[in-house]
């Protein structure tokens, strides 16, 4: 029995001696990088694929994958390629800063160096860090001091503090030769949007449109000579139940522009845009890449007075004086109109030249993802010279005893005034609830939808016109 115990103990000892020493950490940096590709989505999300050549001893090793995104989603990390099995992985996001170093030394000793203000002589004294919250509390000998009375010297940097975000892995390597691996992960801090700049012609019936993709990188990492792709579409993401563990400070961003246009293709239920050459996406940088250029795109300007359905529920009288008339521009996204491209969502900013041939900003609007052969509708502002006065001239209940069978009749008067030197047409849009019937009207309407009446009202230059109508509504 005693011999068996000794034999078993020796076997365990031999097995322990055969295990690899994991105290040494093998580090891979950007110097090992063979390539990187970045796919950026609209919703503050990106897929990074980082290819590197590494060399590890055969067996189990700790591999430190440095210079990854500071906002990596570590649960999405996947290391593929090579002859490796990943047993564990940890994201080390506790970065080396003076405050973090102080916090790690709470309860430990540091050296305080003081400099005499006249002689310049330095003295050293040991101190114990009692607290590093909202300032520093030190114990020096038999007394306590707050604040830092001099320079602090630390014996070493704690192992769990990193100078850069690092993904560490317990990797079982099947070879001691060089091997190429690819780390794929999702990260926040990278986003993009489309920005469009349009110039209206003097007649307001055509415009030149330039589209840009604006990339913003606040991920905490730089992607050198990256293959860049952008996904336009609304990709579903499961919201996290845990709060974000990291706090990021805003920094000033550099702006750079790239003029090569991007290739577009359909992918799943989204659209994929690919830059045909590598580009560097610097940390805390905004970069613009050309998306499209289209000249003399036909457009149509509309002046619209929008009504409200509550006008038809009760008695009101005056409904508004000098009401605003919205200014809209409508564009058909078709090849016949020199467009016909899937347009990612973004902001369209419109300019027009004045009488001195100087560009002036005339308005902007945000568009959603717009496929080919759909219509873009931009609200640029409100007309200065064209206004409206709206009045309810009559209202009565003609039938019904409960709120489920009331029948009302209402009469309305809309006076449109034009202070411009040219005639305009105002589109009056009235949402009418319930079952309705137009009884009288000074101009014919169009039933644009089951609950919408539309009038196209011509207004003479420096003049006015009045639209009147009477409608019966049954609820």
Total domain count, the chain: 4
Q: What is the mean pLDDT of residues 352-373?
A: 94
Residues 86 and 146 in one domain: no
Residue 4 included in any domain: no
pLDDT exceeds cutoff 80 at 203: yes
Residues 201 and 271 in one domain: yes
Residue 318 included in any domain: yes
Write out pLDDT tens, residues 289-335.
888 899 999 999 999 999 999 999 889 989 999 999 999 999 999 99
Q: What is the mean pLDDT of residues 186-190?
A: 94
Q: What is the mean pLDDT of residues 9-18?
A: 37
57-61, 256-260, 439-443: range with highest mean pLDDT: 439-443
Virtual CA dihedral for 373, 379, 385, 389, nearest 10 degrees?
100
Q: What is the pLDDT of residue 19?
A: 37
CATH code, 394? 2.60.40
Residues 115 and 134 in one domain: yes
Q: What is the pLDDT of residue 303?
A: 97
**Do residues 302 and 353 make contact, with C-beta atoms less than 8 angstroms apart?**
no
Residue 340 included in any domain: no
Residues 445 and 393 in one domain: yes
Residue 379 included in any domain: yes
Q: Give 255's Cβ-side CA count (13 Å radius).
A: 2
Residues 145 and 208 in one domain: no
Residues 288 and 224 in one domain: yes
Write out pLDDT tens, residues 79-105.
999 899 999 988 876 667 788 888 888
Write out pLDDT tens, residues 410-468.
999 999 999 999 999 999 999 999 999 999 999 999 999 999 999 999 999 999 999 99
Residues 121 and 183 in one domain: no
Q: What is the pLDDT of residue 270?
A: 82
Confidence of residue 260 (pLDDT cuts 50, 70, 90): low
pLDDT exceeds cutoff 90 at 181: yes
Confidence of residue 42 (pLDDT cuts 50, 70, 90): confident
How many other β-carbons are positioned within 10 Å of the β-carbon of residue 62? Answer: 18
Q: 215-219, 242-246, 468-472: which range is least confident on average?
A: 242-246
Residues 311 and 436 in one domain: yes
Residues 204 and 257 in one domain: yes
Residue 275 included in any domain: yes
Residues 146 and 202 in one domain: no
Q: Tell me which residue range forms the domain holding 142.
A: 103-153
Q: What is the pLDDT of residue 391?
A: 96
> Is the Cα torsion angle 280, 285, 290, 291 positive or negative in sign?
positive
Write out pLDDT tens, residues 125-175.
999 999 998 889 999 988 998 888 888 999 888 877 777 788 889 999 999
Enclosing H/E stretch for 14: helix 2-18
Supply the mean pLDDT for the chain: 87
How is the beta sheet containing 464-474 ordered, strand by strand? 435-441, 464-474, 407-418, 375-399, 318-332, 300-306, 424-431, 452-459, 446-449
Residue 463 included in any domain: yes
Q: What is the mean pLDDT of residues 218-222?
A: 92
Share of the chain above pLDDT 90, in %: 63
Q: What is the pLDDT of residue 313?
A: 86
**pTM for the whole structure:** 0.70
Residues 313 and 440 in one domain: yes
Residues 211 and 201 in one domain: yes
- Burial code (b: 16+ CB inside 10 Å, e: under 16) for 214-239 equals bbbbbbbbbbeebbbbbbbbeeeeee
């Amino acid at each position: 029995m005693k011999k068996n115990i000794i034999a078993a103990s020796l076997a365990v000892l031999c097995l322990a001696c055969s295990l690899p020493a994991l105290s040494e950490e093998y580090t891979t940096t950007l110097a090992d990088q063979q390539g990187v590709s970045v796919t950026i989505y609209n919703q503050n999300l990106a897929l990074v694929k980082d290819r590197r050549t590494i060399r590890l001893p055969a067996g189990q090793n700790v591999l430190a994958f440095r210079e990854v995104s500071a906002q990596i989603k570590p649960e999405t990390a996947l290391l593929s390629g090579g002859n490796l099995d990943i047993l564990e992985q940890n994201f080390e996001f506790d970065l080396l800063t003076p405050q973090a170093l102080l916090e790690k030394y709470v309860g430990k000793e540091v050296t305080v160096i003081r400099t005499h203000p006249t002689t310049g002589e330095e003295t050293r004294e040991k101190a114990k860090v009692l607290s590093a919250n909202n300032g520093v509390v030190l114990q020096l000998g038999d007394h306590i001091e707050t604040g830092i009375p001099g320079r602090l010297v630390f014996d070493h940097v704690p192992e769990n503090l990193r100078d850069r975000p690092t993904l560490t892995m317990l990797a079982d390597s099947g070879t001691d030769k060089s091997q190429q691996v690819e780390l794929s992960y999702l990260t926040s801090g990278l986003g993009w949007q489309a920005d469009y700049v349009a110039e209206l012609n003097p007649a307001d019936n055509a415009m030149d449109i330039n589209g840009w993709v604006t990339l913003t990188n606040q991920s905490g990492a730089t992607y050198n000579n990256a293959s860049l792709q952008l996904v336009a579409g609304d990709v579903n993401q499961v919201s996290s139940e845990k709060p974000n563990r990291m706090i990021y400070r805003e920094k000033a961003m550099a702006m750079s522009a790239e003029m090569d246009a991007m290739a577009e293709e359909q992918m799943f239920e989204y659209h994929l845009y690919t830059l045909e050459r590598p580009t560097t996406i610097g940390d805390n940088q905004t970069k613009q890449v050309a998306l499209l250029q289209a000249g003399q795109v036909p457009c149509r300007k509309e002046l619209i007075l929008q009504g409200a359905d509550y006008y038809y529920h009760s008695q009101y009288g005056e409904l508004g004086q000098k009401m605003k008339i919205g200014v809209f521009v409508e564009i058909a996204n078709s090849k016949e109109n020199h467009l016909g491209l899937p347009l990612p969502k973004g902001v369209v900013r419109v300019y027009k030249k004045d009488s001195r041939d100087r560009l002036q900003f005339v308005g902007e609007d945000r568009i959603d993802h717009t496929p080919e052969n759909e219509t873009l509708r931009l609200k640029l502002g409100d007309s200065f010279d064209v206004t409206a006065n709206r009045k309810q001239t009559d209202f009565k209940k003609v039938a019904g005893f409960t709120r489920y069978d009331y029948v009302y009749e209402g009469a309305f008067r809309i006076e449109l005034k034009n202070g411009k030197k040219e005639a305009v047409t105002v589109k009056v849009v009235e949402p009418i609830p319930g079952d309705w019937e137009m009884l009288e009207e000074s101009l014919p309407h169009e039933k644009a939808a089951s609950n919408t009446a539309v009038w196209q009202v011509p207004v003479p230059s420096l003049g006015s016109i009045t639209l009147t109508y009477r409608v019966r509504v049954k609820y």
